[in-house]
Structure 1
Amino acid sequence: MNIKTTRFDVVDYLDSEEAIQEYFRQVMEDGDSDEIIRALGHIARARGIAQLAKDTGLGRESLYKTLSEGAKPRFDTILRVTQALGLKLTVAH
């Protein structure tokens, strides 16, 4: 029996605001900075990199690099991206 598989891509499941917000909430709760950057990249791809580039004033290629594995973006860049994506970084105690 031959089984056909496809590569998993979380972006396929970020198809609603609720899914995006819950995904980002869980990643933020874990607190791993590399995973947060990776998650922002997934969300950006789900929403459209071209629109994010327009909303942040950053180039598409720059965004791809900024949100790629191993990237170490500046905090102000992360703030611009999260704000453009409509996500909030909050502090709770």
Structure 2
Amino acid sequence: MSSFNDIISQKTPVLVDFKADWCGPCKMMAPILKEVKDHYKEKLKIVKIDIDQNPAVAQKFGIRGVPTMILFKDGQSAWRQSGVMQANELISVLNAYV
């Protein structure tokens, strides 16, 4: 878990997408997150965490449904949302942190 902590403790804000291979809405988020990544370039890092392969991380952050996104800034959870969001909505929310 220390590697996950290293990832979220970077100076650059990190958006973590908790997902699962069997989750339809998670698949819908993939192109949306690509659009968000293209919008922010190096100002935001996006990391995908499969809850089935990383149950300890999912449990630590109380992930009960997927997709769930958590934005970490300086290692701290700054924003959290479950469910699918459109790219423009997500960018609008993230602008307050990035």
> TM-score, normalising length from structure 1?
0.27
More strand by share: 2
The structure with the largest alpha-carbon Rg is: 1
